[in-house]
C-alpha cells in the first residue's frame, strides 16, 4: 500500500500511547506462548500485530488502579492523550465505554488529523485485570484493538503486565512497523503510569 510506512510512523497513538523514547529502564518485554487474560478472555489470537510487556511500579495497588481507571484524568499524566471522556457514569466496570483522542501530524500520505479511539470494557476484575476493545479511527486509517491489563501486588509494589493486538488493512500491510509502533506505545504507557503512581506515593510519604 503506497505511503503505509509513512502513515504508520506518523501515528502517535493507536490504542496505546506512543512514546518517543526507547523502552524505559525496568520494563521487560517478551512474547510468551500464552496470552494475558481477564476472566479467561485474552487478545485477538489471529492478529499479526501484537506486543506484551510489563514493569514493576513502586506504589500501592490502589494508587495504580485508580490512575488507570480514572479515564477522564488520563491527559494529566499521559502526554499523548489530548482528550478523554467516559461515555457512561459510575464506577469503572464491565460495559464502561470511553472516547479518547490524539493528534496526528500532517505527512505526504494524510493531512493533519486526530485519531479517535472508542474503547469498551469487556471484562474487569477490580484491582486485578481489565480487557477492553475498540477501534481507533483517523482520516485514512482504522485500527481495531484488543488490550488486556493485569495488576499483581508483589513485594515492593505492583507488577503491571499488558498485552495488545491490532488488526486492520493499514497495520497488516506493514506488520514490523506496526508492531514497533505498538511496542513504543505500550512501553511509554507503562513508563508514564509508573512515573505518575510513584510520584503520588512519594508525595503522600512527605
At 114 the pLDDT is 81
Higher-confidence position of 125 and 170: 125
Higher-confidence position of 104 and 178: 178
Total residues belonging to the chain: 206
Q: Are 165 and 144 in contact (CB under 8 A)?
A: no
For residues 39 and 28, what is the distance between their CA atoms, to the nearest angstrom?
24
At 115 the pLDDT is 86
pLDDT band at residue 91 using 50, 70 and 90 as cut-offs:
very high
For residues 83 and 99, what is the distance between their CA atoms, to the nearest angstrom?
8
At 110 the pLDDT is 54
At 84 the pLDDT is 98
DSSP H helices, the chain, are 4-10, 61-69, 169-172, 175-205
Phi-psi region of 15 (alpha: psi -120 to 50; beta: other; left: phi over 0): left
- Collapse the DSSP code of 45 into the 3-class scheme (helix H, G, I; strand E, B; otherwise coil) and give the result: coil
* pLDDT tens digit sequence for 105-153: 665 555 667 889 999 999 999 999 999 999 999 887 899 999 999 999 9
β pairing state of 141-154 and 129-138 = antiparallel
pTM listed for this prediction: 0.83
* pLDDT tens digit sequence for 19-44: 333 344 444 444 445 899 999 999 99
Amino acid at each position: 500500500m503506497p505511503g503505509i510506512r509513512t502513515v504508520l510512523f506518523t501515528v502517535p497513538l493507536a490504542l496505546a500511547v506512543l512514546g518517543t523514547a526507547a523502552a524505559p529502564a525496568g520494563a521487560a518485554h517478551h512474547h510468551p506462548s500464552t496470552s494475558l487474560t481477564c476472566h479467561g478472555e485474552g487478545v485477538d489470537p489471529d492478529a499479526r500485530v501484537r506486543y506484551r510487556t510489563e514493569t514493576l511500579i513502586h506504589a500501592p495497588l490502589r494508587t495504580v488502579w485508580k490512575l488507570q481507571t480514572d479515564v477522564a484524568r488520563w491527559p494529566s499524566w499521559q502526554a499523548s492523550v489530548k482528550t478523554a471522556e467516559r461515555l457512561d457514569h459510575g464506577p469503572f466496570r464491565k460495559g464502561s465505554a470511553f472516547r479518547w483522542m490524539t493528534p496526528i501530524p500532517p505527512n505526504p500520505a494524510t493531512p493533519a488529523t486526530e485519531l479517535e479511539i472508542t474503547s469498551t470494557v469487556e471484562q474487569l476484575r477490580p484491582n486485578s485485570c481489565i480487557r477492553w476493545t475498540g477501534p481507533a479511527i483517523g482520516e485514512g486509517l482504522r485500527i481495531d484493538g484488543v488490550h488486556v491489563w493485569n495488576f499483581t501486588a508483589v513485594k515492593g509494589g505492583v507488577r503491571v503486565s499488558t498485552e495488545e493486538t491490532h488488526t486492520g488493512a493499514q497495520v497488516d500491510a506493514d506488520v514490523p512497523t506496526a508492531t514497533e509502533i505498538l511496542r513504543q506505545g505500550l512501553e511509554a504507557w507503562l513508563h508514564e503510569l509508573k512515573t505518575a503512581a510513584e510520584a503520588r506515593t512519594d508525595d503522600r510519604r512527605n
